[in-house]
Amino acid sequence: MDRNGAGHGVPPAKRQRTGHFQHDQDQMWHREQLVKSGLAQQTGIQHAHNLAEDQEDTRVHLSVHELRPPFLDGRTIFTTQLDPISAIRDPQSDMAVFSRKGSKVVRERRQQRERQRQAQDATTMAGTTLGNLMGVKEEEEGDSAVAAPVEEVYKRGGNKFAQHLKKDEGGSSSFSKSKTLREQREYLPAFAVREDLLRVIRDNQVIVVVGETGSGKTTQLTQFLYEDGYSKLGMIGCTQPRRVAAMSVAKRVSEEMEVDLGDLVGYAIRFEDCTSDKTVIKYMTDGVLLRESLAQADLDKYSCIIMDEAHERGLNTDVLMGLLKKVLARRRDLKLIVTSATMNAERFSRFFGGAPEFIIPGRTFPVDLHFSRSPCEDYVDSAVKQVLTIHVSQGPGDILVFMTGQEDIEATCELIDERLNLLNDPPKLSILPIYSQLPAEQQAKVFERAEKGVRKVIVATNIAETSLTIDGIMYVVDPGYSKLKTYNPKMGMDSLQITPISQANANQRSGRAGRTGPGKAYRLYTESAFKNELYMQTIPEIQRTSLANTVLLLKSLGVKDLLEFDFMDPPSQEVMSTSLFELWALGALDNLGELTQLGRRMTPFPADPALAKLIIMASEVYGCSEEMLTIVSMLTVPHVFYRPKEREEEADSAHEKFYVHESDHLTLLHVFTQWRANGCSDRWCTRHFLHAKNLRQAKEVRDQFQDIMTQQKMPLISCGTDWDVIRKCICSGFYHQAARRGGGSGSEKEYLNLRTSVSMYLQRSSALSGLSDAPPFVVYHELRLTAREYMSVVTAVDPEWLADLGGVFYSMKEKGYSQRDRRIKEREINKSMQIQQEMADARAIAARAKEAEKEVDSTRRKTEIEVGGARSVVRRPAVIKGGKRQIGGVTASSSPSPRPGAGGSGSGGSVVKKPIGRRRPGQF
């Protein structure tokens, strides 16, 4: 490899330019030395300067335009929420300050590892001149990185988590061991109020069911409706906010009903459908039902829809509630049940016009709450101390510890193990982490029963808050923090920041201790902090995330004015404007904010708009849809590279074999191609430190995308080894996220965003970070804020591509091109878009005038008939039998009901009034 980085996969054109420039620099230096020594004349230097000037003239410069379409000129309001919302209730509170500082022990361990790595790098002799003389060899790569053999439990197809659920461990608690599934079901609080609940469902179209953790609402409601005959009218659908919850609950219900999963009871998540023609109870994620509404606007195949865990307020949940509100007005036979695990359900009731609330009794078993007496500055250290205290002083039962992320979880597990070994003959303890990047076979261990006499401590992220239940948990340790994904619309950047949880989250976590027996919950914050420093509810995702995909979906559903769409909590104006601008930049919206033909073609793909555009452009323009399908599939699944903490150097060495130094996107393509060439082997993945589960998921995603392409009649074409075509296609989808090389050196290369001039950096894991001379222009998949702003999944591009494909943003800066020329060009483009807007406004005004004229003519004709007709017309006030009247803000039907005090069972228009006073379990 030469010093210009030619051996690192630098683009040929760029490598040639760099080589020429370096050669010219060398020529100038040699000629200067010759002149100084008197062996050459001055003309040689002049010639060298001329070469340098020619090289300067051939350098490429981009001019950036600041353009915005007329519908985003700031005069149009898209939402009623004009101000952004903070993710933290009180930024100056103790918990907020501690969350910004982070854990001291985690920070110290991170610094210690860095020092050890630097010391090891500084003292190693392998690869140095002295080391070569002494015969010191580098560690062998390849098979030396083989981890312990992993049994190939997870086969192709089917439920990813079904395997560990199929294991009949018999439960961990005495309750689950001594009771059959039927007896456990009858013991649930929901079963005790079954008849009252079904009566309220029959009498109302919409009902809000409030049932705390352990009440059985998730598994029992669908069975109650099935037993009451609702499945004869259509399918019973139940939405879940998370994939794992949808799969595990469907498995549990199929076991209780003694049927095979995928037969009478099934589930559907993105890119995986485990249903059949016989399925009448269907569990799914919110996004799946949202996609189904595209093909079937009124959801005619469903007779009843249950929106479970609505209190989590995911993005798809909020959009789905707005759509269902319109569907319910058109389909009076459809039943909607909204369930929440918190008592703050009045929001849902008001949103659906005063729908009645039904209270299911609380936890199955009591849970004792223990608050901290003083604020805990280091939440990791405090949690470790609390775990050891429970382990040596409390009775049997497993411990569940909530942590914010992978680094905190690993540090917690290490500290528990280290401090446990310092004790004299401590009781046995099995320490098990669970987070998303952990291999599936290790995640499954938390569901297995521990050996006799061994207590389990499970350290988990907030995935363990949901309806996914780990049997045998008796103690919960809650530090009071979680990582919350927030979106910065000014920078177009997602950031994962540690924030205090909400009161609803705290109650949900405590409920984990009372699922299979009496338990205790230790909250590592004061009771005062719980009441004064935590939000009542978590900030809805719709108010803290990018809405480009959501806006595209709403536009395709015919929602022209986003201000009129009924959001429970509307997003901020800035987020809406940024999302609309992104869609306009991609070509999905025209200059008037209407959906373009490209935008309509992007809608069927369940992916980000930019990724959907990549598939379309690869198929129709660049002829590389075979490769682009793989790249997009790899981008939609979690990261495939696995980097175990104790073998980081081996993992990095194995990963470098796959690097394509021009592009992280091409690196992902290379990984998938090699995996498939090796027979999709799990052992091969283990040897190269790759997540086999994520690669299998990418293959299934790819098959789903290929089916959509077939339905859309899009050809599948391969470009062979011409990877420059793939890079240009990637540029066509991400030219609005481009950056140029800035200053900085070392392991982290600095770049500047072309449009915002924000500093951002290459990650150390990026394939481009290994280049000695980083490419001058790149595009990136997304921007993430951790310690600093990092670009995720980066590809080097030529500036000519940016000017050609992103003409609305960039143009080539030719010699003599001044700022005045740039402003003139921007004014011309803005004037053209303004003329389009004025023409559209004129057409709209003409259309309204024509409609008004028609109404005047119609009124005049009616008046002439009534006055001059052969017979007189007597007009009485219209009395509509079975009409509607307004009762306390609720629209109620006056049609006769089949039983006293109840409305029609089909229309569901009547309302059960709530009694004034304290609600009691089992009453409504």
The answer to whether 213 touches 124, Cβ cutoff 8 Å, is: no
Which of 520, 514, 408, 505 has its CA nearest to residue 466?
Answer: 505
CATH superfamily of 367-539: P-loop containing nucleotide triphosphate hydrolases (3.40.50.300)
* Rounded percentage of the chain residues whose pLDDT exceeds 70: 72
Rounding to the nearest 10 degrees, give the CA dihedral for residues 200, 203, 204, 205. 120
The answer to whether 461 touches 387, Cβ cutoff 8 Å, is: no
Neighbours of 559 (CB within 10 A): 16
Place 342 in a pLDDT band, splitting at 50, 70 and 90. low
Which of 922, 923, 909, 917 has its CA nearest to residue 354?
Answer: 909
For 482, phi then psi, to 5°, come to -155, 160
* Amino acid symbol at 24: D
How confident is the model at residue 126, as a pLDDT? 58
* Amino acid symbol at 762: L
How confident is the model at residue 372, as a pLDDT? 93
Rounded distance between C-alpha atoms, residue 191 and residue 307, angstroms: 19
Place 892 in a pLDDT band, splitting at 50, 70 and 90. very low
* Amino acid symbol at 419: R
- pLDDT of 501 > 60? The answer is yes
Summarize pLDDT for 441-494 with one digit per residue, the tens: 777 788 888 888 899 999 998 877 765 567 888 999 999 999 888 887 777 777
Residues 6+ apart with CB under 8 A from 189: 211, 214, 215, 216, 360, 361, 362, 364, 921
Averaged pLDDT for residues 12-34? 55
Place 417 in a pLDDT band, splitting at 50, 70 and 90. very high
How confident is the model at residue 305, as a pLDDT? 93
The separation between the first and the last C-alpha atoms of the chain, rounded to the nearest angstrom, is 76
How confident is the model at residue 831, as a pLDDT? 64
Longest dimension (CA), the chain: 122
Mean residue pLDDT of the chain comes to 77
How confident is the model at residue 28, as a pLDDT? 62
Place 778 in a pLDDT band, splitting at 50, 70 and 90. very high
Which contiguous run of DSSP H or E holds residue 472?
none
- pLDDT of 774 > 90? The answer is no
- pLDDT of 58 > 90? The answer is no
pTM more than 0.95: no
Summarize pLDDT for 66-122 with one digit per residue, the tens: 777 877 776 667 666 666 677 788 888 889 888 888 888 888 887 887 777 667 766
Mean pLDDT check: name the lowest of 245-254, 566-575, 763-772, 904-913: 904-913
Rounded distance between C-alpha atoms, residue 65 and residue 822, angstroms: 7
- pLDDT of 149 > 80? The answer is no
Rounded distance between C-alpha atoms, residue 370 and residue 252, angstroms: 32
Tokens of 313: 């307020």
The answer to whether 403 touches 380, Cβ cutoff 8 Å, is: yes
Place 631 in a pLDDT band, splitting at 50, 70 and 90. very high
Mean pLDDT check: name the lowest of 109-118, 310-319, 644-653: 109-118
Which contiguous run of DSSP H or E holds residue 132?
helix 129-134
Rounded distance between C-alpha atoms, residue 693 and residue 444, angstroms: 12
Structural class in CATH, domain 604-808: mainly alpha
Return the SS3 of 457: strand
CATH superfamily of 189-360: P-loop containing nucleotide triphosphate hydrolases (3.40.50.300)
Q: Which residues pair with 230 in a beta bridge?
A: none
Distance of CA 612 to the CA centre of its chain: 16
Summarize pLDDT for 25-38 with one digit per residue, the tens: 566 666 666 655 55
How confident is the model at residue 819, as a pLDDT? 57
- pLDDT of 748 > 90? The answer is no
More confident residue, 711 or 906: 711
Summarize pLDDT for 509-552 with one digit per residue, the tens: 888 888 778 899 999 999 999 999 998 888 888 888 888 888 88
Rounded distance between C-alpha atoms, residue 350 and residue 358, angstroms: 14
How confident is the model at residue 303, as a pLDDT? 92
Mean pLDDT check: name the lowest of 292-306, 746-760, 837-851: 837-851
For 863, phi then psi, to 5°, come to -65, -40
Long-range own/partner contacts, residues 72-79 (CB < 8 A, 24 or more apart) = 72/577, 72/580, 72/581, 72/584, 72/593, 77/563, 77/573, 78/562, 78/563, 78/573, 78/576, 78/577, 78/580, 79/562, 79/563, 79/567, 79/570, 79/571, 79/572, 79/573, 79/576
- pLDDT of 60 > 50? The answer is yes
Q: What stretches of 179-314 show up as alpha helix (H) in DSSP?
A: 181-187, 189-192, 194-203, 217-227, 243-256, 286-295
The answer to whether 442 touches 520, Cβ cutoff 8 Å, is: no
**Angle ∠(526,530,535) on CA atoms, nearest 5:** 155
Long-range own/partner contacts, residues 751-755 (CB < 8 A, 24 or more apart) = 751/778, 751/791, 754/62, 754/64, 754/802, 754/809, 754/810, 755/64, 755/66, 755/809
Tokens of 284: 């799914």
Place 755 in a pLDDT band, splitting at 50, 70 and 90. confident
Tokens of 640: 């495939």
Place 389 in a pLDDT band, splitting at 50, 70 and 90. very high
Tokens of 912: 């059960």
Return the SS3 of 411: helix
Question: Would you say how long the chain is, in residues?
Answer: 924
Summarize pLDDT for 243-274 with one digit per residue, the tens: 878 888 888 888 888 888 888 899 988 777 88
Rounded distance between C-alpha atoms, residue 103 and residue 854, angstroms: 70
Beta strands 455-460; 429-434: pairing state: parallel
